[in-house]
Every structure is written in structure tokens, then in C-alpha cells.
Chains A and B, each alone.
Chain A
Amino acid sequence: MMQEEAYVRESTIQESTIQGNTIRKNIIQENARQWKGFLAHNINLDIRRYERNLKRFNRGGLFLFTFFLILALLPVLFAPYSPTERFMPYEAPSTAHLLGTNDIGNDILSELVYGARISMMVGFASACISTLIGLMIGLFSGYFRGTLDELLMGFTDVVLIIPKIPLIIILGAFLRPSIWTLILVLGLLSWESIARVVRSKTLQIREAGYVKSARCMGFSSVHIMASDIFPNLFHVLLPKFMLATASAMISEASLSFLGLGDISMKSWGIMLSFAFSRGGFIRDMWWWYLPPGICITLCVMSIALIGFGFEGKEKENGKRGVDAE
């Protein structure tokens, strides 16, 4: 649901909100160059203050994220019951069931704990796919430039315009709802901004001395891309990967809400959807619908904040990189 463009960083503005318009892109890049200019200390201070904020966010994000990760990896430690075990339905919170039970008598807390794994898996798996596609397209387009670049970036722009959620809804409706198709569809449809960022970074790196010298020494393009360029892309990829994960998680939750999720794998989104459609809402059972919603928000936020943090660090690294050249 949320495309990564939602985020605030300058590089993000630079990269992803731009579409099919090289002039516009040039201008924004030019701006970026300009602001470093006269009296740069003025804003540098602000940005630094801002980065410090982000670092603080990042720490908070990291803490939350670790918590959710442990939840996802070792649900047995936290869940009092198995998520499929049945008790009395529609029970209010009590010492036996801290968050009550749902319509078929499952313990909601246990469901919540086990849901972490599924929600996060969907997010990370589809982010992996989209990052991989984006990396490939961006790398080739940036490294070979010329016609290939025009074609690939043209294609990226074309895909960028197609509204994702409606398309995913159609696909989801045609295909049997399963977690794997969901991951695949989400992954295949959200690589554009990653491709753009990777491309611009590749364009920058390929002009660096070490890449030029590697080319002079006659290494193959594939070798140069894999061993010289790829390691330097890591800093850009990581934040993008995190943001892609965050947005995939929100998309998953939204699709589950429409009944396009995998009912056999109860993610937070499906829990929320069930709470809405199976009476949790009408019966005013806040302990049913609030926890999964809050978990989604917090988890997405923790991942996004880590992404922001990486982006901030990437910036510094980028600066140092320019220095070195």
C-alpha cells in the first residue's frame, strides 16, 4: 500500500518521486549539489540535528525490531497456547487468556505471537524479490547505459504509473489466495524505486577510479559489476530493502483485509480482517482488533525507522566516498 516514496529523505525525493523526466531529475540533482555550496554549515547543522534525531529513532526502531524478530523466531517462548488450540469463543481478557479468545475460541495472544512470523516473512520475502529485480535492472541500466538504459528506465517508468494495489487485487482475485502467490505478486510489483536508486548510484560508481582501472585491466563486465560495483551499492540497497519490507507488510495487511490473504497462515492482517468481519468490531472487543493493528503499525515503523537510519549512514558514507576520490 505504501510505496517507499513516502519517506522523507532527500535522496528519496531525488530518486523515486521523479518519473520519466530527466530534466526534472537533473534539476533536483543539481539542487542537491547546490545546497552543499555557500554557507553550507547553515543547513548542515540542521541536517545533522535531524540525523541525530533519526539515529535516536533508529535505536528505538532497532529495539522494537529485535523484539518482533524474537517473537517471530521463537513464538513458543511467548505464546501461552498453540494458535490452533480451542477454548470458549468470544472470551474477554482474563488471566488465562490475556487478550481473550476469538470467534472460534483461539487464544488471541498466541495468535498474535505466531502471526509475527507470517507477517514479517511476507514482508521480507517480497522485499527480497523486489530488491533483487531492482538491483538487476538498475545495475545493468546504470552500467551499460545507452540504449539498454533508455529501454530499462522507460520500462520502469511505465510500470511505475500502473497503480499497484488495484492490480494486486485483480491478481489476488484470479489466483488462489496463498501466501506464496502474495509474496510473489508483491515482490514482482514493487521494484521500480529500487531500480532507480541503484541505477543512479551505479552511474556514479562506474566513473570512480577503481572501476575505471578494473575496466582497463580487462576484467569482464560481470566481474566488475559483481566485485567492484555491487559491494558499493550495499549502502543504498539496505535502506531501500527495509522500506520495501515495510511497504510490503502494509500491502499484505491491506490485501488480507479484502479477503485476499491466505487464511491458513494467520498473519496480523488476517487477524484484523477477521476481527472486522467476524464480529469483533460489532461486539466492541477491542482486545481482538487493536493488538494486531498496533503490532502492524509498530513493526512497520520499526523497520522503516531502521531504513531511515541506514539511509542517514549511507549519506555519510557517500560523502566520505566522494572525499576519497
Chain B
Amino acid sequence: MNILLEIKDLNVSFQGNETENKNENKSENKKEIKNETKKENETGTVTAVSCLSISIREKETLALVGETGCGKSVVAHAIMRLLPPESRVRGTIEFGGKNLLGLREKEMAKLRGKEISIIFQNPSLALNPVYSIGNQLAEPLRIHGQEKGKGKEKKKTEALSKVAGALKRVGFSNPHEYMGYYPSWCSGGMNQRFLIAASTILDPVLLIADEPSKGLDRDRVSELENEFKGLKEKSETALLLISHDLGFVRRLADRVAVMYAGEIVEIADTSSLFESPRHPYTRGLLNSLPERGFVPIPGLSPPLSSPPAGCRFHPRCNVKEKRCMQEHPKLKESNGRAVRCFLCP
């Protein structure tokens, strides 16, 4: 299968000058502010993602898992080039033969929503409160509307039928009623489905789902799962699934990449990863699942501004050796799997 998206040596760092960082501490140490971009005390730059290389094949589902704050979402935003201006992104992100990082903003905007789409984790906030659902769903059609010759009216009816189709696909039986609704009138689960419909309405080649299951209850998660499964069956879309919900990932993904402190520590097929995890961190993660006894990994993730020397996981690792504390392990590949650990073959 062809490789659709290839990320090589992606580095993302955030810079802020001193005063900003000071202010930041007051607000950002709180949980309300999202994970990986945490900028720590007086030190200038924070490297949220370092030397990350992954690839996604066509129609494949790749899951990116890891704890909150390990840089998963930054990867998603880096692919879409949605990171705030003070971030520094290095490396290459090749998509369909083009390096996304080299594109101009205008060219990038043409890809966004049409070829690469994203689903944010907080659907009720991602939808604009003052526009109707129908309007927002039709928006990608308007932005990327190609056919020029047709009259306005015709375009409109066409868009309407497309929107209705998209809504039906995500399980709304009477789409025309919902088109007149506003996000604030609907529940979070409904908004999530609207968001999926909006992001997939143009059949993107790559869909990024950024923690789609976060904040949803069990029933909703399984609903969501069915939707993604349906999506994969019906369309050609490749899916980059970002999540910390391992059960969810296991049921959906073809391959899984595990991230820790801004690095990939293990990549493998879903089945082999869950059956025989190699990296101690992956093992720890799996052991912390409720069905495997709820054994937590001791300690906390290191701050991204000052990762520990050597293997980034060593302070929490129970099988560490001396060299783990001094040398930084490389990602070693062997028959389809890759692990970043000295102790694994």
C-alpha cells in the first residue's frame, strides 16, 4: 500500500520570552489549559515533540496514544499547520508528494478541510454558536466549491442534499430538521456527530481525530466507534486517531504508535502491541488498564522543558540499567515494529 503521509524528524518547540512565561505559570499550571504546550518556568523554549517519524498508509488507521501532555495533539496540529505562530516546527511532513511545512498558508488552506480534516476533542466548542448546523456543515462545500459554471441556486440545493446525506450517514434520520438547529441546542454527543459530518463531507484523504472520545460517556464512545467503523468501510479515508483510551484504540486502529514525553517509544500492529508490548512504558500503560489490574506507572511525566538525560522514561522505569540514565536510545526497527529501548531486542 502507498504511503499517504510521512512525517520525518518532526520537532516542535514553543518559544516565549521571559515575561510571558511568568504570566503563563499562573494560568497554565492549571489543568484547564491543554496539555502539551505547557511552557515551564523561566526556561525559554519547550520542545513538545522531538524527532518524531511516523507514516500513515492509505486507508489505514494509525493510533497515536500516550498520556495527556506527551505531545499527541501537537502532532495533529502540526500536520494541519494549526499551531500558534510562536511555535517552531522543523522536519518534513510529506503528504501526497508535497512537504506540508513548505507550503504557503494559502496553499495549505486549500488542503485543509478538503484533503486533510480534523475532528477536535471538544465538539460543542468547535462549532460556531451563532450559525446553524446546516450552515456549518455546508461551509467546507462553499470554501472548496469547485464547479463554477453552475448557478447559485443549483449550488445551494446541491449543497443541501449533500449536507443531508452527510447527516444521514452519521445517524440522523431526519436531517432537514437538524440543519436548522444550533450547537447550543444539542447535546455534546450530537455535536460530535455534526462535527464528524462536517469534517468528512468532502471525503478527505486523511482524517485526524484528536481525542474524539474524551469527555464522552461509555455509550457515546461505543456510538462513536461505530461511526468511525462505518466511515472506514464506506470511504477511502485514512484515519489518524489520537487518544489515550486504549480500549477504543484497540478496537479501531490498524497500527499503534505510543508516545512518551514528545517521542515515539513504540510502533507496532495493534494486535502485536496489545499482545506483546515491548517497551516498558507500553507495558506500564497496558497494566494500568482496569481489566489488567489497574497498576499505575509510578511517578509523573517529566516536564517537556527539561526532559531527563538518557532515556526519557528512565526515572519511572522498573527495569532500567545504568546506560539508560546516560544515553538516549534510538528507535530500533525490526520486522514491522519499532521500539526505543536498549533492553528490547
Q: List residues of A whose CB falls within 8 A of some B CB.
A: 34, 36-42, 44-45, 48, 51-52, 316, 319-320, 323
Q: How far is the CB of B306 from chain A (nearest CB, A)?
A: 19
Q: How far is the CB of B304 from chain A (nearest CB, A)?
A: 13
Q: Are A45 and B125 in contact (CB under 8 A)?
A: no
What 8 A-B pairs are tightest by C-beta distance, nearest first? A42-B84, A40-B33, A48-B23, A319-B26, A41-B37, A36-B32, A38-B34, A48-B20
CA distance A48 to B24 in the complex (A): 9
> Interface majority SS on B: helix, strand, loop or mixed?
loop
Beyond A38-B34, A40-B27, A51-B23, 18 additional pairs, beta carbon < 8 A: A34-B125, A37-B33, A37-B122, A40-B32, A40-B33, A41-B14, A41-B28, A41-B37, A44-B24, A44-B28, A45-B20, A48-B20, A48-B23, A316-B23, A316-B26, A323-B26, A323-B29, A323-B30
Could you pull out 24 A-B pairs where Cβ atoms are within 8 angstroms?
A: A34-B125, A37-B34, A37-B125, A38-B120, A38-B122, A39-B84, A40-B27, A40-B28, A40-B32, A40-B33, A40-B34, A41-B24, A41-B39, A41-B84, A42-B84, A44-B28, A45-B20, A45-B84, A48-B19, A48-B20, A51-B23, A320-B26, A323-B29, A323-B30
Q: Are A44 and B23 in contact (CB under 8 A)?
A: yes
CA distance A325 to B86 in the complex (A): 31
Q: A42 to chain B: which residues have CB within 8 Å?
A: 84
> Interface majority SS on A: helix, strand, loop or mixed?
helix
Q: Does residue B16 face the partner (Cβ distance < 8 Å to A)?
A: yes
**What residue in chain B is nearest A51 (Cβ atoms)?**
B23
CA distance A42 to B29 in the complex (A): 15
Q: Are B26 and A45 in contact (CB under 8 A)?
A: no
81-130 of chain B: CB within 8 A of chain A? 84, 86, 120-122, 125
Q: A37 to chain B: which residues have CB within 8 Å?
A: 32-34, 122, 125
Q: A316 to chain B: which residues have CB within 8 Å?
A: 23, 26
CA distance A52 to B86 in the complex (A): 17
Q: Are A39 and B20 in contact (CB under 8 A)?
A: no
Q: How far is the CB of A193 from chain B (nearest CB, A)?
A: 26
Q: Are B120 and A45 in contact (CB under 8 A)?
A: no
Q: How far is the CB of A74 from chain B (nearest CB, A)?
A: 37
CA distance A198 to B160 in the complex (A): 49
Most buried by A among B27, B30, B122: B27
CA distance A89 to B340 in the complex (A): 91
- Given A37-B122, A38-B120 in contact, is the A45-B27 Cβ separation under 8 Å? no
Q: B120 to chain A: which residues have CB within 8 Å?
A: 38
Q: How far is the CB of B74 from chain A (nearest CB, A)?
A: 11
Q: A41 to chain B: which residues have CB within 8 Å?
A: 14, 24, 28, 33, 37, 39, 84
